[in-house]
Amino acid sequence: MSQAAWTTQLIALHGWAGDSRAWQPWAELAEARGWRFSAAERGYGGLPPQQPRWDPQAQQRVVIGHSMGPHLLPAQVWQQATTAVWLASFAAFVPPGRQGRSIRAALQAMGQRIASGDTTALLRDFFREAAAPFPPSALPLGPLEHGITTTGRQRLLDDLERLEHSAGLPAGYPEGAKALIVEAADDRIVHPVSCAALREQLPQAQVWNLEPAGHCLLDPTLAERVLDWIADEQP
């Protein structure tokens, strides 16, 4: 299909410690509808960083972000978005009060493990929690398959710090954008208070709560269902 025929474009970004290969099923389903699917990449492992731009022909511009993904996209991407899909995500990762103090301490301990060279073991621990209640073997390919590069390790540290200080909607988030929030009932990564805060920030959003589902939302039907929702939101 020619670029001129594209009226819907999706830009997707994985979360912390993920990579863009997780979007392959989404890309295939989107392209079967005649939509353009562009996956951003942070470059933690063997894949180089990539930041797609909106095609001038795209009339419906949809951001899909998993976990920290929405907070890693530049403001210029958000400013032109018409629709946002938040997958197991948040406005502020660290909630206020006592719960926030324990989460902040856990993030700092993770950073210390990465800085000390314990990156692979740390990520295996993280992926086990992110996949639960399903086994880590159910996860899509990620940066550990090719190993974490020196540059990738620094990106993990930098993004972990950004995660700790995330607050509110991402810079450039467009007022009035249509929104879908997909929550995981069994999420061991994002605190329920942080999920609730995102709903409060986006009172107009449609909210789905998947059960059983962990942070990585390992539901083989989810991509098709989300794309159906996007299609229904087309003008």
- pLDDT tens digits along 38-85: 999 999 999 999 999 999 999 999 999 999 999 999 999 999 999 999
Give 221's contacts (C-beta < 8 A, 6+ positions apart).
Answer: none
pLDDT digit string, tens, across residues 144-198 = 998 999 999 999 999 999 999 999 999 999 999 999 999 999 999 999 999 999 9
Q: φ, ψ for residue 212 (rounded to 5)?
A: -80, 140
Q: Is the pLDDT of residue 37 over 70?
A: yes
Backbone angles phi, psi at 62, to 5 degrees: -110, 125
Residue 3 has pLDDT above 80, yes or no: no
**In which residue are the tokens 């996956």 written?**
39
Residue type, 209: N
Q: Which one of 3.30.390.50, 3.20.140.10, 3.40.50.1820, 3.40.640.10 gives the CATH number of domain 3-95+160-232?
A: 3.40.50.1820
Q: Which amino acid is at 35?
A: W
Q: Residue 225 and residue 176: Cα distance in Å, rounded? A: 22
pLDDT-derived band of residue 233, with 50, 70 and 90 as boundaries?
confident
